[in-house]
Amino acid sequence: MNAEAAPLWPVETKPSNPHDSAHLHVAGLARYADDEPEPADMLHLAFGLSSEARARITGLDLSEVRAFPGVVAVYTAADIPGENNVGPIAHDDRVLADGEVISHGQPVFLVAATTRLAARKAARLGKVTYEPLPPMVTVDQARAENSRIEADQRMAQGDATAALAAAPHRLAGTLRIGAQDHFYLEGQIGLARPGEDGQIHVVSSSQHPSEVQHLVAHLLNKPSADVTVEVRRMGGAFGGKESQAALFAAAAALVTHHTGRPAKFRCDRDDDMIVTGKRHDFEVAYEAGHDDEGRLLAVKLRFSARCGASMDLSPGINDRTMFHADNCYFLPDVEIMSERLKTNTVSATAFRGFGGPQGMLAIERVCDHVAARLGLDPLAVRARNLYGPKRDVTPYGMTVEDNIAPQLIARLRETSDYDARRSAIAAFNARNPVLKKGIALTPVKFGISFTTTHLNQAGALVHVYADGSIQVNHGGTEMGQGLYIKVAQIVADAFGVPVGQVRITATRTDKVPNTSATAASSGADLNGMAAHNAAMAIRDRMAAFLAGAYGCAPDEVRFARGEVVVGGETIAFGDAARRAHLGRISLSSTGFYATPDIAYDRPSHKGRPFYYFAYGAAVSEVVVDTLTGEHKVLAVDILHDVGRSLNPAIDRGQIEGGFVQGQGWLTTEVVEWDAKGRLLNHSPATYKIPTASDGPKRLRIDLWDGENLKPTIHRSKAVGEPPLMLANSVFCAISAAIAATAPGKADLPPLDAPATPEAVLRAIAGHRSA
């Protein structure tokens, strides 16, 4: 199939169809998992949670739980017929604790009751006795006990040690980067219904229905064919429902298996935040050598991640941190070390960017540090270090073939009026004793593909009915990102029919099997191409049939405007479908796609892990109150590369939403654990995502006018994750504003992320005194 050969639509008239469910969202009629009618015999579930972060369980008295009115059953690890695991890779994530607990809030037992309130109340009555051990909460504590989820990883090019020693200027620094809770508005939920003959049907709010299917099958000792998982939509996910949704689906399936009754686990928000993983927090140490102009000659980076109590997806996430520690910059001699520390905190997991944001923020920090040392505009330092001709090999040995960062940054510098604004800010800062402004332009280069190569595949199933209406199913899940409407457009275009003629149906493991998670920004790239291939297979059959009937060549048959032109006649698409059906032509097809050209050798960390890169850049201007540390984002200019957009309105929505989510990560969202390993921020009362007034007062988003060099679906580029990292510009701008409290000082304020008012005040004090 050659999707790129026939563009869907002229570039200047790209359709911005609204989200396929927009009319349902605003009417309250979009159905989420919890909105399904509840059968009268449905059971509601709750976990009894561990009060300890690291302990042996020495006793379990659940008599009061069982006696609580409404409780139907209580289960422990002993009640699991198959494998007690919901871990995606390492089989180390227990559904229910078995003999030991490894993080605070870990589920210990499961209550099934006739009402949700009864289940929740009863779950608090369990008497668990523990033999506690001192928990490893921090990365230092884990390192002291040599507790790691896997061996340290090293990615290197050249000889960083020698180049560092030879560099005319050297600097070193550290940076702490906080974790982030997904705070999807729809909490975790799973429900299970019994089928006949041992089959089970699961509705899960999951980005990865196939994995839920497989885990439930293993949990219950069933073949995968007996478990069907369905996901119509999620109320937000952001990576937080890639592996984390399985726990709730598994619990519901276990109860249904034992009781033969439908069971639903809708997790309370506080429990959700305590029980499920977050973005990894990091400690970063760096050393850099550079020349007089600020060119980086040598860079050493050490990333120490708090991975939590199990492996989850941490290997891939930390790999992606290493892959993005170069961002857009050529690092001639470089060594990137990555420590993946296993702590007694909830297991860290996927979150939009998947480790990339932390790697990228670290190298931006290095650029800022070099600029501070040399008294240069940080943008000058960034520009001098960009990939370019003969400076185009990444630390993992991949040649950057599609580098548009230099042109994109130059254009944004101009359209944002960066230089004039920077001068105006210097003047503002000179006359304002309390308020200081800062501005920063930071770029993004994000690698597109799952770095685990085999995940880069997708399937789709397309039916054309005899009335000409079309039904599409694919392995991707809808979490708000607009995947369904993008795929519907692709299929509609293949048949030349209006998008309203295409019905996209809930993602189900019985329609498209063995799917990958909807993750890594790959949803439209993979599933869009698979659906295109399915549609084209049917279209080709229809064309061949009609060509035979009309005595013309198949490639003379045209599908456009809801009609088919064949042999000089124009017939409605529905008529064409009906005739093909009467002519005994199959109007159903699967479609498949596997990303070409990618290969990666993990032991050496060399290869081509990415099919292509998505680029972008942002200019952020902020103002900081140097008395209190409060700050505000004043203006943001974004230029972002989505290739040839599949839907500009949807893509802009991803860019704006991703940016603000990234801003929250770097400013207001604080995740802390106490010394006993208890999470302190587990509700919206104490965990603060941006509100409507926190976004930039002025925001401009432009799409880069260029197509993907690679033959992706209609030459588009992935858009889900990359925009989040545009918010690095906010952090760098805050740092610049803080630096203005001690003008002329050739050092970087000791600012850590998130830049809360408290962190900003600390950095101001540190910068002034250092």
Partner 1 sequence: MAVRFVLDGQVVEIAEPDPTGTLLDYLRGTLRRTGTKEGCAEGDCGACTVLVGEAARERVAWRAVNACILFLPMIHGKALMTVESLSRGGSLNPLQACMAGNGASQCGFCTPGFVMSLHGRAIGALGSELPVADVIAGNLCRCTGYGPILEAGEKVAALEQDDSATLAALRALGADGASGVFGARRWFAPRTSDELAAVLAEHPQARIVAGATDVGLWVTKGLRALDTLVFIGDVADLKAIEESDAGVRLGAGVRYAQAHPALSRLHPDLGELVRRIGGLQVRNSATVCGNIANGSPIGDGPPALIALGAELTLRGPEGRRTIALEDYFLDYGKQDRRAGEFVESVFVPRPGAATRVHISKLSRRFDSDITAVLGAFALTVEQGTIVAAHVAFGGMAATPRRAPACEAALVGQPIDEATITSAAAALGEDFAPLTDVRGSAAYRIEAAKALLWRLWHREQGVAVSVLEIAG
Q: Is 671 helix (H, G, I), strand (E, B) or coil?
A: coil
Is residue 615 within the footprint of partner 1 (CB under 8 A)?
Answer: no
Is residue 15 within the footprint of partner 1 (CB under 8 A)?
Answer: no
Selected from 9, 11, 23, 467, the binder of partner 1 by CB under 8 A is 23
CA angle 758, 769, 140 (to 5 degrees): 60
Give the nearest distance from C-beta 78 to partner 1 in angstroms: 27
- Which residues are marked as active site? 721
Q: Which is nearer to partner 1, 373 or 437 (CB)?
A: 437
Site for partner 1 in 102-121 (CB under 8 A): 117, 120-121
Between CA 436 and CA 431 the distance in angstroms is: 9
Q: Which is nearer to partner 1, 246 or 273 (CB)?
A: 273
Site for partner 1 in 123-152 (CB under 8 A): 124
Task: Report the Cα–Cα distance between both ends of the chain, in Å, rounded.
Answer: 62
Is residue 558 within the footprint of partner 1 (CB under 8 A)?
Answer: no
Site for partner 1 in 696-725 (CB under 8 A): 697, 699
Site for partner 1 in 152-211 (CB under 8 A): 182-187
Is residue 279 within the footprint of partner 1 (CB under 8 A)?
Answer: no
- DSSP classification of residue 516: P
Q: Which is nearer to partner 1, 315 or 723 (CB)?
A: 723
Is residue 412 within the footprint of partner 1 (CB under 8 A)?
Answer: no
**548 C-beta neighbours (distance < 10 Å), count:** 11
Is residue 430 within the footprint of partner 1 (CB under 8 A)?
Answer: no
- Residues in contact with partner 1, shown as a per-residue x/- string from 220 to 239 under the rule CB under 8 A: -------------xxxxxx-
Give the nearest distance from C-beta 102 to partner 1 in angstroms: 24
- DSSP classification of residue 232: S
The residues pairing with 110 across neighbouring beta strands, listed in sequence order, are 47, 75
Report the amino acid identity of residue 487.
V
Q: Which is nearer to partner 1, 66 or 581 (CB)?
A: 66
* Site residue total, partner 1 (CB under 8 A): 89
Q: Please identify, among the stretches 459-467, 519-527, 528-536, 693-701, the one whose residues bind partner 1 according to the rule CB under 8 A.
A: 693-701
Site for partner 1 in 464-493 (CB under 8 A): 479-482
Site for partner 1 in 338-367 (CB under 8 A): none
Instruction: Please identify which residue in the block is written with the tokens 């007034």.
Output: 693
Is residue 244 within the footprint of partner 1 (CB under 8 A)?
Answer: no
Task: Measure Cα distances from 360 to 173, 279, 289, 364, 604 in Å.
Answer: 15, 15, 18, 6, 21
Q: Which is nearer to partner 1, 116 or 579 (CB)?
A: 116
Between CA 673 and CA 343 the distance in angstroms is: 11
Q: Which is nearer to partner 1, 78 or 685 (CB)?
A: 685
Is residue 686 within the footprint of partner 1 (CB under 8 A)?
Answer: yes
Q: Which is nearer to partner 1, 420 or 692 (CB)?
A: 692
Site for partner 1 in 313-332 (CB under 8 A): none
Selected from 31, 148, 176, 503, the binder of partner 1 by CB under 8 A is 31
Selected from 5, 27, 40, 582, the binder of partner 1 by CB under 8 A is 27
HEC readout, 714-759: HHECCCCCHHHHHHHHHHHHHHHHHHCCCCCCCCCCCCCECCCHHH
Phi-psi region of 688 (alpha: psi -120 to 50; beta: other; left: phi over 0): beta
Name every residue whose Cβ is closer than 8 Å to that of residue 111 and which is 6 or more positions away in sequence: 45, 46, 47, 48, 65, 71, 73, 74, 119, 122, 123
- Closest Cα to residue 610, out of 403, 752, 308? 403
The residues pairing with 370 across neighbouring beta strands, listed in sequence order, are none
Q: Please identify, among the stretches 130-138, 264-272, 595-603, 741-749, the one whose residues bind partner 1 according to the rule CB under 8 A.
A: 264-272
Between CA 205 and CA 507 the distance in angstroms is: 11
Is residue 26 within the footprint of partner 1 (CB under 8 A)?
Answer: yes
The burial class, CB within 10 Å (0-12 / 13-18 / 19+), for 700 is middle
Site for partner 1 in 641-670 (CB under 8 A): 649-650, 652-653, 656-661, 668, 670
Q: Which is nearer to partner 1, 57 or 234 (CB)?
A: 234
